[in-house]
Amino acid sequence: MSEYRVKNISKLPMLFGQKQGGLARTLILKVLGKLQVGSLTMVEQDETLLFGSKADPEGPHAEVHVHDLDLYRRILTGGTIAAGETYIEGLWSSPNLTEVTRAFSGNMAMLEAMSDQQNWLLRLALKTTHWGRRNTAARSRENIAAHYDLGNEFFSLFLDPSMMYSAAVFPAPHSDLAAASQYKLQLICEDLELKPEDHLVEIGTGWGGMAIYAAEHYHCRVTTTTISKEQFDYAVQAVEKRGLQDRITVLFDDYRDLEGQFDKLVSIEMIEAVGHQFYDTYFGTLSRLLKPDGKAVIQSITMTDQRYEQARDAVDFIKRYIFPGGCLPSLNVISNALANVTDMQLSGLRDITRDYADTLENWHGTFLTQLDQVRAMGFDDRFIRMWRYYLSYCEGGFRERIIGTYQITMTKPYYRPN
């Protein structure tokens, strides 16, 4: 790489039409000049611009290589979604994509100022599209298929052998992902106080890892449901392969249609797909499915209480391209739902936010080693960049704690500890 002249934004002349990118570039660079956490280095063809400070060794310290100055116009008119779109299209790149998403996550006020300049008609169109994708009983299967039905073989390229597509919990700093996924399941089962005589219901099967772990290690019965056909087929085969048909029943049903009552309930990172319009329905269903002395554990990605309403009503890259119909609850939203529509009490909370960042780092690293296989499946470089941006986007959010992850334990009125 040739040497570039480093220039601090505070000394940058604000000249309209100074170079290709013009006014849009000037406005975006002015916003970037408000960077307060970490640093961002923008490498253009003939100069390098430094924003923020590199004094803090913990960072984040991001570097963006601009390949097309139309990037600035796109971000000015398209906001944070356009940041992802332009990465996918190759208008910019970075030697460390997660550091870029960390830098923006750590400077949320700056990011929101940038989004405020987004065309209001575009914001309205995005919100209208997202509203059309809300998770009604009829729409939920389509929204799930949009993500999970990419194919079991695709997900197997970067997940651990148990196919857990949720935050692992690392028992030690150097534990591998497979061990961390098993430890996560162990913690959940211990929190549930599972016994052989229990009947456990699971909302959101995934690829069957939780159900199989509970049946094999605690010898209980499990009824689990999913609305992803790909996951349903995989889980049924996995159960049969292990000879657990007498203990595990896999259903292809919407959680709202489940009947009966169960001793214990688990739901791992399914609430994110519920949609805020249906939180009361979700928690009401959890309460209805549990016996009067029952116990439940859910694992949930959360938004901070302070940013929940703004994030709920906004459409970001994840809602647009990865999880249509999705929404992250806050801890306060969960607590209020428990109080308003259930007879359950929140009795335990485990913060595993850092573990999720480490999980995503593992997934991303493994994904990069499998690019030949990804392409052999028919996925092109645009898809690969989209998937990389998604993984880095989430990891950066967890690293900077603008989103969190918790294991939440809830109990019914007649629950008593073992």
Question: pLDDT averaged over the chain?
Answer: 89
Q: Do 398 and 298 fall within a single domain?
A: yes
**Percent share of the chain, pLDDT over 90:** 76
Which pLDDT band holds residue 113 (cuts at 50, 70, 90)?
low
92 has pLDDT over 70: yes
Q: Do 31 and 146 fall within a single domain?
A: no
Q: Do 286 and 392 fall within a single domain?
A: yes
**Cβ partners under 8 Å of residue 415, min gap 6:** 293, 294, 295
Binning the chain into helix, strand and coil, the percentages to the nearest 5 are 50, 15, 35
The reply to whether 153 falls in a domain is yes
In this prediction, residues 248-274 reach a mean pLDDT of 98
Q: Do 368 and 294 fall within a single domain?
A: yes
Q: Do 110 and 245 fall within a single domain?
A: no
Predicted pLDDT of residue 13: 38
User: Is 220 a known active-site residue?
Assistant: no
Sheet with 403-411: list strands edge to edge: 248-251, 221-225, 199-203, 262-268, 290-303, 403-411, 345-351
Start-to-end CA distance of the chain, whole Å, equals 64
Which domain range does residue 163 map to? 137-411
The reply to whether 418 falls in a domain is no
The reply to whether 74 falls in a domain is yes
The β-bridge relationship of strands 345-351 and 248-251 is unpaired
Angle at which helix 331-341 crosses helix 279-289, to 10 degrees, equals 60
The reply to whether 199 falls in a domain is yes
Amino acid at 274: V
pLDDT digits 0-9 by tens, 171-180: 998 999 999 9
List the CATH number of the domain containing 158. 3.40.50.150
The reply to whether 249 falls in a domain is yes
The reply to whether 129 falls in a domain is no
In this prediction, residues 340-344 reach a mean pLDDT of 98
Q: Distance between CA atoms of 393 and 60, rounded to whole angstroms? A: 14
Q: Do 343 and 389 fall within a single domain?
A: yes
Predicted pLDDT of residue 324: 84
358 has pLDDT over 50: yes
E strands, 190-288, are 199-203, 221-225, 248-251, 262-268
Classify 187 as helix, strand or coil: helix
Q: Do 74 and 109 fall within a single domain?
A: yes
The reply to whether 147 falls in a domain is yes
The reply to whether 308 falls in a domain is yes
Which pLDDT band holds residue 145 (cuts at 50, 70, 90)?
low
Which of 247, 242, 241, 240 has the alpha carbon at shortest distance from 194? 247
Task: Yes or no: say if 208 and 181 are a contact pair by the CB < 8 Å rule.
Answer: no
Q: Do 156 and 263 fall within a single domain?
A: yes
Domains of the chain: total? 2
Written as one string, the DSSP assignment of 47-103 is -EEEEE-S--TT--EEEEEES-THHHHHHHHHHHHHHHHHHHTTSEE-S-HHHHHHH
Active-site residue, selected from the candidate residues 189, 220, 327, 394:
394
Q: Do 230 and 306 fall within a single domain?
A: yes
Q: Which domain-ending residue is among 65, 86, 118?
A: 118
Which pLDDT band holds residue 121 (cuts at 50, 70, 90)?
very low
Q: Distance between CA atoms of 177 and 183, rounded to whole angstroms? A: 10
Q: Do 184 and 276 fall within a single domain?
A: yes
pLDDT digits 0-9 by tens, 383-418: 999 999 999 999 999 999 999 999 999 999 999 998
> What six digits make up the tokens of 40?
């961002």
Q: What pTM does this model have?
A: 0.88
